[in-house]
Amino acid sequence: MKRRRSVFKTVVAPIVAVVVFIPTLAISVWIVLRGAESYSNVYGLAIHYTSVLILAAMVILILGVAYLARVVHLRRYGDASEIREKTPYTDLGDSK
């Protein structure tokens, strides 16, 4: 039986993520194209906008690999793989 997915998980969360991250990436790309300046964060450390773009690229790469691994897992093992409790009192051949 499939669990219901909430509207928050499927609609609201991705919209909020896009609204937050797209302007930051757009500003980073614009400033890097003009000459790769830097900004100071809350702690007073200088952070280059190029670092922001590298971080965003790595996050996208990691999420892509995780999604690909999920697709491969679902194709190989089906919709849901059961996790069976392994105790000395249960026979591994039995399924509940």
**Gap between the terminal Cα atoms of the chain:** 15
In this prediction the pTM is 0.58
CA proximity to 95, closest of 82, 80, 79, 78: 82
pLDDT of residue 94: 56
Average confidence (pLDDT) per 10 residues, the chain, 96 residues:
68 88 86 82 85 89 93 79 54 56
Structural domain spans, the chain: 7-77
Q: Where are the alpha helices (DSSP H) in the chain?
A: 7, 13-34, 49-77
Span 9-23, pLDDT tens digits: 778 888 988 898 888
CA proximity to 38, closest of 46, 28, 29: 46
